[in-house]
Structure 1
């Protein structure tokens, strides 16, 4: 007998946050959305008041003490950002604000503006003090931006909240960051069925279905936030080395991983690497799986032995790396 399906949603984190659980537990649901609001207030850079914005506003002036969760998340983001030739950079905030892609005032900056703002994106200019959990941005105008990982981090925290309230079958969807908990009661194979969106589809069409169990599914795509100028598409996934949107053969990268934070981090990194180098990277990281959607309607699956992908759109050709 299939358990009842309880759906809850709110507009938070700049998107629709939805929660599907299979046991009636209003206490757990209230705890989830209260936690979401607290974390949004700490991590957002789209409002003047947050812990992250307090750090940014003090750039070049003084260090700012923050709560332990915010400090630990920034420390983890910084550790990744400092890896050689890494396409993930938590210090990219000044460039993000310059482009404003997906927000009012989006524009194509001049080469000189981009050159100047690139000087403000060196992660080595972020100074952490573990004694008092303070963070200092050495250059005036620097900005930390956790937009690439905030939803993944929050999804993982929400999972902890649900498990604490004895919810062991659930699906969390933070605007495309999907995290599944336990087995699905909806299917015979006990897998959750997560849709893979068709890029630039106006009707929420799906390319396929990803069948996973107790995993995170995170997609980074050029169709999420973009604009056109002079018939050229400019999207929000910026190249931290050039300051311009990344330009390669990909429309999206989907990461299947244990944690949603991993999915956020590595979807950005692998998008920057592209298919060939991305697949080589995955050979050294067997804990991650990926689905690459190419502009030429090819889908490349890598490390996908532990889940099943069902193709729905026959325009695409599937290849196994």
Structure 2
């Protein structure tokens, strides 16, 4: 009788152990979130077996902190702040690989878009008061804008592939805000891939990279917000499927100011020094790199929908959706050749 009981318990134990193994090997979705770059991040990981989520989050936060230490204009000791503070022409300023990578991407977009993305327009951003208090009492004068235009221009930054920068004008300052968030998405995505996690979604401040598939085996679905002023974040205009692709959106419906009954976009045209007036309310770019998607989204906001579509159609593996508001307040969609 004793032997039979032992066999019975051994069988039960084996069955429970098998259920345990199956449970450990089942796919599960892990959610991670945090704050960075004056915004939030949200990450979904599809994994099997034991995953040290605390260790992964620590690695992610370290990666994001490294980028902030390099490119945050709000940190006095960051690389970009120290470069901006240089008061000399021709002095070599050595930079990190992260900073160099982002600058080279920005330079590429600057050239392809005929200067529509220019990371030296910080003085214009400040005079239009898109930093801090947006309660503007008067518009900058034409004379002031002309003076500032003479002090900016990405061509006045020498980027050496030997790892350093030089100012060609003392007044030149850099602000990588239009591309840094997308780069952060790319870096976090690369980190997650290095941990042998193939299916995941990374979102930082609305910029997204989707790898593989969801837990149900289907492609990731990402919503594009309805471009309405004071609209809620859960108002979805379009839903797109993503697999091993990035999506970045730029728009004027959340960041703007009003003066004498007129609304001014926070997107500035580097050629004129003034906010854009082309009636584009949203641009979404799909690409292999979120940094490039981020930068091109801003560039197309400046170019307008005709030149914007032409530009994106000329770039391999890059697509766009441009939403324009007509004179009656209706929304018109313009797509690149392969967006849908």
Q: TM-score range by the shorter chain?
A: 0.7 to 0.9
1:67-106 to structure 2, matched below 5 A, reads 67-83=96-112, 85-104=114-133
Contact 2:70 2:99 in 1 (8 A): yes
Greater per-residue helix proportion:
2
**Structure 1 counterpart of 2:308:** 278
Separation in structure 2 between the aligned mates of residue 28 and residue 197 of structure 1, nearest angstrom: 29
Given candidates 244, 248, 254, the residue that maps to 2:278 is 248
TM-score by length of 1: 0.87
Given candidates 34, 42, 49, the residue that maps to 1:18 is 42
Classify 1:60/1:111 alpha carbon distance in 2 versus 1 (closer, same or farther; 3 Å).
farther
Aligned residue pairs total: 303
Structure 2 segments unaligned to the other structure (5+ residues): 1-22
Separation in structure 2 between the aligned mates of residue 12 and residue 104 of structure 1, nearest angstrom: 21
Separation in structure 1 between the aligned mates of residue 269 and residue 97 of structure 2, nearest angstrom: 30
Structure 1 stretches of at least 4 aligned residues deviating more than 3 Å after TM superposition: 59-63, 105-108
Contact 1:60 1:141 in 2 (8 A): no
Q: Secondary structure at the residue paired with 2:28?
A: coil
Contact 1:99 1:106 in 2 (8 A): no
1:134 to 2:164 alignment: yes
Contact 1:63 1:136 in 2 (8 A): yes
Q: Offset at 1:59?
A: 4.2
**1:146-184: CA deviations, max 9, x gaps?**
111001111111111000111111111111101111122
Classify 1:88/1:106 alpha carbon distance in 2 versus 1 (closer, same or farther; 3 Å).
farther
Classify 1:224/1:201 alpha carbon distance in 2 versus 1 (closer, same or farther; 3 Å).
closer
Over the aligned positions, Cα root-mean-square deviation in angstroms equals 2.1
Given candidates 300, 308, 316, the residue that maps to 2:334 is 300
**Structure 2 counterpart of 1:112:** 143
Contact 1:184 1:213 in 2 (8 A): no
TM-score by length of 2: 0.83
Q: Offset at 1:106?
A: 6.0
Structure 1 segments unaligned to the other structure (5+ residues): 308-321
